């Protein structure tokens, strides 16, 4: 399964102490350079930075449509990371995009991509037996 992620799910799962569960569910996650920069470089010292930088199961894959990124950011009002993740997902024919922001999810779905947010990921983790107490994790999610 080819999975592409925006920064929000990576940061959120690091904040709630469940980052490594992403690897259990998705053996490899692709992120564009812009997401890596948001999480690791600009987010240095914040949740997700060390986790993403050290994860050998996260593949940094540059999106090829650099010109389209700038114009889509201007047209949609979405962030560079979100647009780059959508472009990369299309280029890789991704099976799934991990994305939290509602407008970005709608745009990705309009582009024909399957999208899931943090709650959907947690539900999948529970269904596959990686999470035993979903209520406790939801509480951590709400706190963060």
Residue 7: CATH number of its domain = 3.40.50.1010
Question: Which are the contacts of 114, defined by CB distance < 8 A and separation ≥ 6?
Answer: 95, 96, 97
Residue 46 lies in a domain: yes
- Give the pLDDT confidence score for residue 132 in this predicted structure: 93
- Give the pLDDT confidence score for residue 31 in this predicted structure: 98
pTM of this prediction?
A: 0.92
- Give the pLDDT confidence score for residue 57 in this predicted structure: 97
- Give the pLDDT confidence score for residue 52 in this predicted structure: 98
Residue 121 lies in a domain: yes
Residue 144 lies in a domain: no
Residue 123 lies in a domain: yes
Q: Are 74 and 28 in contact (CB under 8 A)?
A: no
Residue 120 lies in a domain: yes
pLDDT in tens, the chain (144 residues): 999 999 999 999 999 999 999 999 999 999 999 999 999 999 999 999 999 999 999 999 987 766 666 677 668 889 899 999 999 999 999 999 999 999 999 999 999 999 999 999 999 999 999 999 999 999 999 988
Residue 96 lies in a domain: yes
Q: Name 5's bridge partners.
A: 98
- Give the pLDDT confidence score for residue 135 in this predicted structure: 93
Strand order in the sheet with 3-5: 58-60, 29-31, 3-5, 96-98, 115-116
Residue 45 lies in a domain: yes
Domains held by the chain: number: 1
Residue 143 lies in a domain: no
Domain carrying residue 128 = 3-138
């Amino acid at each position: 399964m080819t999975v592409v992620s925006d920064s929000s799910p990576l940061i959120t799962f690091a904040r709630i102490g469940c980052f490594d569960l992403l690897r259990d569910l998705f053996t490899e996650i692709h992120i564009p350079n812009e997401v890596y920069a948001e999480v690791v470089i600009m987010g240095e010292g914040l949740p997700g930075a060390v986790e993403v930088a050290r994860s050998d199961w996260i593949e940094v894959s540059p999106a090829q449509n650099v010109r389209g990124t700038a114009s889509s950011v201007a047209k949609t009002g979405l962030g560079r990371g979100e647009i780059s993740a959508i472009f990369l997902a299309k280029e890789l024919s991704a099976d799934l995009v991990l994305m939290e922001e509602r407008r970005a999810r709608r745009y990705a779905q309009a582009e024909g991509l399957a999208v899931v947010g943090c709650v959907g990921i947690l539900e999948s983790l529970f269904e596959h037996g990686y999470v035993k107490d979903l209520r406790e994790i939801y509480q951590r999610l709400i706190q963060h």
